[in-house]
Structure 1
Amino acid sequence: MDKRIKNIDLTVPYKKIVETIGNKPIAYETTGIPFWDDEYISKSMLALHLNPDVESASRTYEFMDRSVDWIVSLLGKQDGKILDLGCGPGLYAKRFADKGFSTTGIDFSQRSIAYASENYGGEKNEFIYQDYLTIDYDKEYDLAILIYCDFGVLSPENRMALLKKIYRGLKHGGLFVVDAFTSNQYKEFTDSLTVEYENGGFWRADSYINIKRNASYPNQNYLEQYTIITAEDCATYNIWNHGFEPQELKKTLLNASFASVILYGDVTGANLTDESPIVCAVCRK
């Protein structure tokens, strides 16, 4: 027998698998395992960010162009300071810089921040590798953005804590633009458990088994859970989101002291309808 195999305690992965599948997590429970900043997964994420034709990590480049044009029209000015939360590889910062704005981008992926700094950093833009929940924004920004429906990923407590930080960091009259999924996004969502084998892919370079669990919770909370099993170990990632009713989102933002909140159907200013899968809020301090 290979001594390397002999020295592996195979009961550990089995125990993790049984515990994960047998115990449904409470809403917004985390596993404590890095996702955005994982050495391999962050490489897969960056590749998706930089693919101009897919929306797995960022929206298409064409959509981002229209989005930035619309946001700039809301600001009614050609320069100013922008706070981009969850900035990824700086794709929005690059577009705002082209229009005369300077951006502070914050992201918890060291790989994405390194890419943004190398390609779009300099006089106009700065990029910070940090969890945006842990920063106190002491600069006065004309605009803050949290785009691509990341707001619902946060627990209700973290949402309110972040909103208070953003509010303090904005100038008087400054704008906060945020989007979120509505309940329409989850009309086809069903509880399920599936098992797939991948000979290397998004989660790991080598072969792995992916046990995916979809689970719905009260109050329109949803879990996509991935348990990744390799020859050596297993790791579980809980990815949460929330389906907002538009007026629920508006109330949450007004409760964070914003003076006004106007709702749209997406971050290009589309009309909000009863069927919209996304709601975008433009909040003024």
Structure 2
Amino acid sequence: MAYSKLAYIYDVLMDDAPYDQWQSFVEHFCKQGKMLDLGCGTGRLSHQFADSGFSVTGVDYSEDMLAFAQANTSGVQYIQQDIRLLQGLTEFDIVVSLCDVLNYITTTDELEKVFTNVRESLVNDGLFIFDVHSLNHFNENMVGQTFAEIYDDISYVWFCEQGREYGSVEHDLTFFLLNEETGQYERFDEQHYQRTFPVETYKELLEKTGFQSVTVYGDFSIEEAEEPEENQRIFFVCKKR
């Protein structure tokens, strides 16, 4: 599959995503500096942050996504790396990982590696901001659900099933994409596995790996969440000690 197809489908799926809210949430805590965007995908948020004055480096595991990002955005340095194995990225004022990227890190051992890598990438007192889906959102709004959309040039069916581990979801997606040359629709499938953990698990791992002032927010609110799990999306704002 050409990178343009994969990236195009991703952007269609994310067309209504609240990118401006992610940006506003982050910029409430940090308005400028050297930023590392982990799991940057097609680079839409990286580009927005760069336009607002950050010096942005975007990292993603997918070469296809990065190729699209490089061709369609500007002002950002893009690097292909696995966020569990970050190398050579240091002295950042802020690291962000948004749009539930860390829900693809499905064991506590791997989460600890990511948090350790992030800490080593930050300057002293640097910020780490990320979000994850809540357990309640997975259990109440995702597991057992089917989603579908039909557009002129693409259609998809998306099945969400309980994963094999507590707090996990298996996503099975089938796409039909119009081939403009033949006028026929081509089918292809994607499988994704996500997992989320209780808030206390994230906080314990963050503190273990050298973060302090770990504050938890919900659904883009800048007021500290008293009951984080009641929100669909949970945000963590952490400072390197």
Deviation at 1:109, TM superposition (A): 2.6
Mark the CA change 1:255 to 1:57 in structure 2 (over 3 Å): closer, same or farther.
Answer: farther
Q: What is the identity percentage for the equivalent residue pairs of Structure 1 and Structure 2?
A: 22
Mark the CA change 1:253 to 1:57 in structure 2 (over 3 Å): closer, same or farther.
Answer: farther
Q: Is the 8 A contact 2:126 2:239 kept in 1?
A: yes
CA RMSD across the alignment:
3.2
Deviation at 1:269, TM superposition (A): 3.1
Corresponding residue number in structure 2 for 1:182: 134
Corresponding residue number in structure 1 for 2:62: 109
Corresponding residue number in structure 2 for 1:149: 100
Corresponding residue number in structure 2 for 1:207: none
Does 2:223 align with 1:262? no
Does 2:123 align with 1:171? yes
Mark the CA change 1:191 to 1:100 in structure 2 (over 3 Å): closer, same or farther.
Answer: closer
CA distance in 1, matches of 2:81, 2:102: 17
Deviation at 1:114, TM superposition (A): 2.2
Q: Is the 8 A contact 2:85 2:117 kept in 1?
A: no
Unaligned runs of 5+ in 1: 1-38, 194-199, 204-209, 229-234
Tell me the secondary structure at the aligned position of residue 96 of structure 2: strand
TM-score scaled by length of structure 1? 0.65
Tell me the secondary structure at the aligned position of residue 100 of structure 1: coil
Deviations 1:75-117 (A, max 9, x none): 2x4x311001111121112111122111000112333222322
Deviation at 1:247, TM superposition (A): 2.4
Does 2:7 align with 1:46? yes
Corresponding residue number in structure 2 for 1:74: 29
**What code does the residue aligned with 1:242 have?**
R
Mark the CA change 1:155 to 1:99 in structure 2 (over 3 Å): closer, same or farther.
Answer: same
Q: From the two aligned structures, give the one with the greater strand fraction.
A: 2
Deviation at 1:238, TM superposition (A): 4.5
Dislocated runs of 4+, deviation >6 Å: none
CA distance in 1, matches of 2:81, 2:155: 23
Greater shift, 108-117 or 236-245, is seen at 236-245
Does 2:204 align with 1:251? yes
Does 2:176 align with 1:215? no
Deviation at 1:158, TM superposition (A): 1.9
CA distance in 2, matches of 1:213, 1:72: 33
Q: Is the 8 A contact 2:23 2:45 kept in 1?
A: yes
Deviation at 1:267, TM superposition (A): 4.3
Q: Is the 8 A contact 2:84 2:114 kept in 1?
A: yes
Where do 1:188-207 residues align within 5 Å? Answer: 188-190=141-143
CA distance in 1, matches of 2:48, 2:54: 9
CA distance in 2, matches of 1:104, 1:154: 21
CA distance in 1, matches of 2:167, 2:213: 25
Deviation at 1:226, TM superposition (A): 6.0
CA distance in 2, matches of 1:66, 1:188: 21
Deviation at 1:251, TM superposition (A): 2.0
TM-score scaled by length of structure 2? 0.76
Mark the CA change 1:191 to 1:97 in structure 2 (over 3 Å): closer, same or farther.
Answer: closer
Deviations 1:232-253 (A, max 9, x none): xxx9864222233222322222
Bigger radius of gyration, 1 or 2?
Answer: 1
Unaligned runs of 5+ in 2: 147-152, 176-187
